[in-house]
Structure 1
Amino acid sequence: MSPAARASTGAGACLFCAIVSGGAEATVVLDEPAFVGFLDVRPVFKGHVLLVPRTHVVTLPDLPAEHRDGFLEAGQRLCRAVVDGLGAQGSFVALNNTVSQSVPHLHCHVVPRTRGDGLRGFFWPRTRYGDDEAASYGARLRGALAAPGE
């Protein structure tokens, strides 16, 4: 996206665009031509990933048709990665469109889940990573993404 186009969409101050471009720090677990997945800095549970398109779009309806299948497929791989790489029993996957969307850039939450983890409905408690924990979780997820189907 050109600087003029980004400015016209408000993407110039977008945190996720800064992460995608390397201008803001994040623990990246998926780095592909159309999409990036990185750890949420305030995860519901450790290993909570945000999947974003590289192109600045605000909501799911704004996602260009040519990226829809790839976005869902990348989300599927992240769901497998939280199970295979982190030992989760499953995942919670969510998208907010405008309401409750803390960053106005389309993002899919992939949250590792285990029975009895305490998550109830949409009441999302938040936690923080300790020293070097984000790097460890990121490495485990990258490893699971690099070795699908094992």
Structure 2
Amino acid sequence: MNEKMGFSLLELTFVIVVLSVLAMFAIPEYTKTHREAKVAVLTDLRGKLINAVDTLKTASNIESRKQTISGKTYVQYDVRQSYLVSGKLLDPTEICHILGLTPGPLVEGEMITSSDGMYTCKNVSPKQSWIKMNRLESTDCALAYTAYYHNGSIANVDIKLTGDCLE
């Protein structure tokens, strides 16, 4: 009895070629879908931030919700926390704080990672802060919060996705 065990070299080569062709189509599609999901999370955060800014703007019209500490105005957004405002709009240092990503406001120039490790927040200047999702394939994709000042108070804000997350 002369029985052969195993596969021939030709059979193994054929299987490797078939798997390579499948991987050629599947891996880019997985990567694209994975990235799109993360951009969708940033888009969701954008919606939450817009809602929080609008709610805070409304709350800043109620005198009982305002307090001044060391010359800075804070508005009580919910029962737990007050946030720094300029005029009636959220100060850029507070974007990650109001979303619950950081325990407090940002310090200018410093990057802070959220408690769950999913996001990095940075206050670039008194006019701009951003949120980036960690482990996102594109390092240029961020949620930016830009404040426009008039007479020392924020007159308008722009909340948008920036970088190549719009491709």
TM range (shorter): under 0.3
Structure scoring higher RCO (CA < 8 A, sep ≥ 6) equals: 1
Q: In proportion to residue count, which structure has more strand?
A: 2
TM-score w.r.t. the length of structure 1 is 0.24
From the CA coordinates, give the structure whose radius of gyration is larger: 2
